[in-house]
């Protein structure tokens, strides 16, 4: 079977372009499994997967849990307030404790960038980053590539505008390198107050208004303003932000005719995207959520080396 070149997925840089293709292609077959009446495969029976979520999450944690269960792994969820970290245990000790229980894969979400790396250095289990601070969120980027590929075909040469809070977004942190690895052209778009100090080092083109690039875009990827990470209000008002950076029907009509609109969720309707656009046929937000389960199944399967799954049900 195909195997990945890495043991952990902490940032997009852990993966090669071949790994990305392997994950997306494997996810296609799991997507088909997810459409069956009986959605469970015996592939990872007897393997243990721990979801260690030390920061709030609805869709990512649920998606990893469903993915593990559909592959018959034993999935255990540990939330921040229920774990020993609130009693002062260090991340390294948490890692050693989980290692001693002989689990096979840990998914970790943490408010500090670099926490998944610390865990990975202290344990034999595979580590998958479910979002670390303002750093990266690689499984989100992979499910986004999967969704983009299904809607606009080959991504080489396609232009993707990533709009909003570039400075604080780990989604942008993974999506920019992911798009470059598949030959697409990312443009990060936002007010200067929501841009990192050196946006050029991201490896994307930079635009400070959406209107100057909207006609070029095959995909508009809108981001939530990470109020929990921004200091003060980075623009005069939410209304002002929506006027210049919100994806609305007028801007949708100026995009390429086949262009699509994406959002990782949770979405603030009326701010980064209008309700009319969010609910339009060109919004693929729910397809992203649907892809999340198949892509995470593929990642677990490829990291843990499950058996052939094609005909099992
Ligand atoms: C994102 C996250 O947590 O980084 N959400 C997600 O995983 N779907 C984006 C966000 O919170 O804005």
* Closest alpha carbon to 139 in 308, 288, 310, 309: 288
Tell me, yes or no, whether 6 lies in a domain. no
Distance 149 CA to ligand 1 centre (A): 21
* Closest alpha carbon to 139 in 96, 175, 114: 175
Tell me, yes or no, whether 28 lies in a domain. yes
Rounded Cα–Cα distance for residues 186 and 87 (Å)? 43
Tell me, yes or no, whether 277 lies in a domain. yes
Which of 8-17, 37-46, 63-72, 226-235 shows the lowest per-residue confidence on average (mean pLDDT)? 226-235
147 C-beta closer than 6 A to ligand 1: no
Rounded Cα–Cα distance for residues 39 and 239 (Å)? 43
Residue nearest to atom 12 of ligand 1 (CA): 224
222 C-beta closer than 6 A to ligand 1: no
Same domain, 23 and 132: yes
Considering the entire predicted model, what is its pTM?
Answer: 0.95
**Lateral strand order in the sheet of 159-163:** 205-207, 185-189, 159-163, 219-222, 260-262
Residue nearest to atom 11 of ligand 1 (CA): 266
Range of the domain at 87: 12-136+292-309
The string of pLDDT tens digits covering residues 15-42 is 999 999 999 999 999 999 999 999 999 9
Tell me, yes or no, whether 124 lies in a domain. yes
> What is the average pLDDT across 154-163?
98
Same domain, 159 and 282: yes
Tell me, yes or no, whether 184 lies in a domain. yes
pLDDT of residue 309: 44
pLDDT of residue 227: 87
pLDDT score of 1 more than 60 = no
Same domain, 166 and 110: no
pLDDT of residue 2: 61
Cis peptide before 266 (omega within 30 of 0): yes
Distance 171 CA to ligand 1 centre (A): 7
Same domain, 248 and 298: no
> What is the average pLDDT across 182-204?
95
> What is the average pLDDT across 217-241?
90
Of ligand 1's atoms, which has the minimum distance to the CA of residue 265? 8
Q: In testing the pocket of ligand 1, which one of 140, 227, 295 has its CB within 8 Å of the most ligand atoms? A: 140
Q: Is 215 exposed, middle or buried (0-12, 13-18, 19+ CB in 10 A)?
A: exposed
Q: What is the CATH number for 222? A: 3.40.50.1370
Rounded Cα–Cα distance for residues 120 and 136 (Å)? 15
131 C-beta closer than 6 A to ligand 1: yes
The string of pLDDT tens digits covering residues 59-78 is 999 999 999 999 999 999 98
Tell me, yes or no, whether 26 lies in a domain. yes
The string of pLDDT tens digits covering residues 251-301 is 999 999 999 999 999 999 999 999 999 999 999 999 999 999 999 999 999
Q: What is the number of structural domains in the chain?
A: 2
Same domain, 275 and 296: no
Same domain, 29 and 75: yes
The string of pLDDT tens digits covering residues 132-158 is 999 999 999 999 999 999 999 999 999
- Tokens 């990642």 identify what position? 299
pLDDT score of 171 more than 90 = yes
pLDDT of residue 232: 81
Same domain, 147 and 229: yes
């Amino acid at each position: 079977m195909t195997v990945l070149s890495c043991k952990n997925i902490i940032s997009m840089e852990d993966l090669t372009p071949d790994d990305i293709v392997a994950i997306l292609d494997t996810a296609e077959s799991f997507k088909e499994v997810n459409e069956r009446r009986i959605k469970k495969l015996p592939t990872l029976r007897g393997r243990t997967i721990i979801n260690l979520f030390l920061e709030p999450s609805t869709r990512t944690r649920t998606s990893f849990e469903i993915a593990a269960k559909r592959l018959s792994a034993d999935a255990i969820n540990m939330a921040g307030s229920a774990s020993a970290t609130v009693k002062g245990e260090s991340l390294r000790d948490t890692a050693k404790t989980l290692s001693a229980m002989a689990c096979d894969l840990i998914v970790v979400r943490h408010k500090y960038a670099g926490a998944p790396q610390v865990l990975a250095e202290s344990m034999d289990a595979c580590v998958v980053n479910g979002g670390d601070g303002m750093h990266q969120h690689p499984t989100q980027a992979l499910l986004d590539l999967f969704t983009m590929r299904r809607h606009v075909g080959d991504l080489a040469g396609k232009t993707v505008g990533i709009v909003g809070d570039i400075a604080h977004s780990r989604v942008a942190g993974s999506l920019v390198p992911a798009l470059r690895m598949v030959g697409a052209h990312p443009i990060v778009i936002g007010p200067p107050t929501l841009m990192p100090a050196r946006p050029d080092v991201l490896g994307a083109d930079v635009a400070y208004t959406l209107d100057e690039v909207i006609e070029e875009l095959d995909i508009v990827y809108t981001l939530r303003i990470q109020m929990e990470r921004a200091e003060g209000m980075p623009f005069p008002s939410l209304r002002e932000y929506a006027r210049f950076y919100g994806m609305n029907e007028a801007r949708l009509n100026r995009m390429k005719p086949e262009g699509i609109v994406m959002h990782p969720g949770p979405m603030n309707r009326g701010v980064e995207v209008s309700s009319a656009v969010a609910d339009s046929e060109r919004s693929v937000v729910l397809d992203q959520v649907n892809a999340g389960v198949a892509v995470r199944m593929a990642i677990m399967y490829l990291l843990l080396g499950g058996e052939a799954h094609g005909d099992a049900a």
